[in-house]
Amino acid sequence: MTLAELIAQARTALDTAITTRRTEQDALVALRSEDTLTEEQVRAQIERRDAADAEVTRRQEALEELLAEQAREDELAQLQARTTPAATRAPAYDQVHRVGQEERTYRPDQDRRGAGFERDVAAAFLGDYDAQARLARHMTEERAERGDQLQRAAGTGAFAGLVVPQYLTDMYAPAAAARRPFADVCRPHDLPAQGMTVNLSRITTSTDVDNQSAENVAVTEQDMDDTLHTVNVQTAAGQQTLSRQAIERGAGVEAVVLDDLFRRYHTNLDSKLLNQASTGLTNVATSVAYTDASPTAAELYPKVIEGLAGVEAAMLDMASGDNVAVMHSRRWYWMQNALSSSYPLITQPGIIAQTLGANYATTYGRGVRGMLPNGTPVIVDNNIATNLGAGTNEDEIYLVDRQECHLWEDPDAPMYIRAEQTKAASLGVLMVVYGYYAYTHNRYAHARKIAGTGLVTPTFTGV
């Protein structure tokens, strides 16, 4: 992963931490306005707010450290450019600008037939830059001495060998990618250094407690038992073979190819978290049906609340409250398109009652995009499929406790192999990008998804 990508991830983490801290502060303000609050409740909320504040500070320091590192790299690059020894050879006479009277580039007394001029025209056509410079200087002299006699009848099309096209390689347009918005908000873990499975113990049979039926009578006993939850370590990889000519005679070809491979790696990982058979979020989430021939955002919102209620009911005391809603960009903008005079009866921290949530106006892939009316953060991810349902035109909305969306990644992933010997016989260079990861959303079966005909391709009608 490049330093620029690390900085982008650090910015996303900081944005998320700031949002969490803002939510905890709003919750504290709302709690203090209640008549029945206790000192313990206020203290507990202050501790949560302070913990979120500490997380903001930690994320900020991490970002500042990366930015300082980037600034140092830029400084070293500039220093190297300034200290690189310049050529000591004196420039050619015809490559220096002078003030005063100079001899003409092409002089009749030295070349009566104009052979030197003709040679320069031919050489310039073949790419001789010195010849091109002499021709350009000759034209400048002609304009200065006989400008009123020159007829500008010929356009650039008449000089295909002299008007050189420019290629702005630093402004190349990468192929767009959905990247990893959902993966970036999952609970991160470092992947263990060995093994191709990650095993977790899940308590499936708990102990039991009941009232003692009588004195000196045995109390309730239930043997505790667990079930092994096994998560497979997966390998994501991609390759590209480049000719040595493309690398050695191209401008930034290798860097462009690597950048695209890294973008595909992250997009694939995020897509698997959402869509992979059996383990992807769409396949482990419990469905909340939204069937409607004329769907509206106002009708969809109660389904979101129903899904969040299901998340908390499944988690019970293990619920962190750190819920997120994950949806496609077309669904997020469709919800923003809705206009209505209705608003929730119960106000929420940081949300104006008359609105259907809040839009933070952040860009794609930069963390939380906004808040739903009940304060649930929204993550927009275009790896969500849009060809679901009987009409193959539906998308889904996922509601999860992000602390129970676990993602293990190798700290060095994605990694890069550059193999020159493998394709040496054909002057090729093989580049491979790969990484190991594992994930589970199902340590507790809690996730919910809203699905059905109410989520067909949206029409933007203002309702």
Q: Give the percent of the chain with pLDDT over 70.
A: 89
pLDDT digits (tens, 9 = 90+) for 215-241: 999 999 999 999 999 999 999 999 999
Taking the C-alpha atoms of residue 324 and residue 361, their distance in angstroms, rounded to an integer, is 17
Q: Which CATH superfamily is domain 183-207+221-455 in?
A: Major capsid protein gp5 (3.30.2400.10)
Element (H, E) at 57: helix 39-83
Which two tokens mark 112?
A: 């009566």
Q: Which residue has the higher pLDDT, 382 or 25?
A: 382
Classify residue 298 as exposed, middle or buried by CB count within 10 Å of its CB (0-12, 13-18, 19+). middle
Domain-by-domain residue ranges, the chain?
1-78, 183-207+221-455
At 286, give phi and psi (nearest 5°). -80, 130
Measured CA angle at 8 (ends 3, 11), to 5 deg = 125
Taking the C-alpha atoms of residue 274 and residue 405, their distance in angstroms, rounded to an integer, is 11
Assess whether pLDDT exceeds 90 at residue 421.
Answer: no
Taking the C-alpha atoms of residue 296 and residue 289, their distance in angstroms, rounded to an integer, is 15
pLDDT digits (tens, 9 = 90+) for 101-152: 667 887 777 776 777 777 888 777 777 888 888 888 888 887 777 666 555 5
Strand duo 197-205 + 225-232: pairing: antiparallel
Residue 22: HSE in the Cβ half-sphere, 13 Å Cα cutoff: 16
Range scoring the smallest mean pLDDT among 123-137, 171-185, 248-262, 302-316: 123-137
pLDDT interval class at 88 (50, 70, 90): very low
3-state helix, strand, coil in the chain (%, to 5): 40, 20, 40
pLDDT digits (tens, 9 = 90+) for 347-367: 566 666 666 677 888 889 888
Three-class SS of residue 439? Answer: strand
Nearest C-alpha neighbor of 2 from the set 360, 262, 349, 310: 262
- Other CB atoms within a 10 A radius of the CB of residue 25 amount to 18
Q: For the residues 17-37, what does the mean pLDDT come to? A: 80
Q: Between 129-146 and 115-125, two packed helices, what is the crossing angle to 10 degrees?
A: 130
